[in-house]
Chains A and B, each alone.
Chain A
Amino acid sequence: GESVGLHLPTLSVQEGDNSIINCAYSNSASDYFIWYKQESGKGPQFIIDIRSNMDKRQGQRVTVLLNKTVKHLSLQIAATQPGDSAVYFCAGVLKAAGNKLTFGGGTRVLVKP
């Protein structure tokens, strides 16, 4: 079939190391951002979100950082495990557009044993 979009970049990380996944966004009006994890053969699953008036939010083994000055979002995974191998997508939510969810390009994370 015809390919849609761009091939995703890949991040290889050693098991136990920390991973940092980056995402650049273009719409500065987004009200909040969401990180999704998509494992092979499955639909994306919610990981963590952050409101646009925040700089940092922590979850279980994950931290999201938001830099509105440079329109950059990052997801940090502490002590990366084999189960973290997946594709990670960031998405922006715009309330003015009816909470429309717009996905950015994803990153494939490969955890090496």
Chain B
Amino acid sequence: EADIYQTPRYLVIGTGKKITLECSQTMGHDKMYWYQQDPGMELHLIHYSYGVNSTEKGDLSSESTVSRIRTEHFPLTLESARPSHTSQYLCASSEFRRGEAFFGQGTRLTVV
């Protein structure tokens, strides 16, 4: 059973607010990822990390930023939320030598 947690599950917030989506894993995985997914649509990689102090942008451009100060924690921040940021954000982690990723339940963000 994978142990990766995202909070909050649902968030409705006004335009211009700063938000941080939390993601934590207890498996000691080096690699962590953030994906963006609209309902019924594909998954798009927006950020990933190979370990502490490592962050890279993914295939889809995003105005969000991430940090990796601790192995188990990979938060995603939007400095000023806009309605175009409305989407589901999925966090995942994997062992360094394996590609199989374990996913959290996701955060469904709505910006009004």
Contact = CB atoms under 8 A, between A and B. Distances in A.
Interface of A: 1-8, 31-32, 34, 36, 41-46, 49, 87, 89, 91, 93-95, 98-106, 108
B97 A8 contact: no
A45 B43 CA distance: 13
Contact of B44 (A5, A45, A99, A100): A5
B101 A101 contact: yes
Interface residues on B, range: 35 or more
A42 B103 CA distance: 9
Contact of B87 (A4, A7, A44, A101): A4
Contact of B41 (A3, A46, A104): A3
Interface in B31-70: 31, 33, 35-38, 40-45, 48, 50, 59-60
Contact of A43 (B48, B60, B98, B103): B103
A3 B38 contact: yes
A12 to B, nearest CB: 15
Contacts, number: 90
A8 B41 CA distance: 6
Contact of B40 (A41, A101, A108): A108
Interface string B76-112: 0000000111110010101011111111111000110
A83 B43 CA distance: 22
Contact of A1 (B31, B84, B92, B104): B84
A34 B100 contact: yes
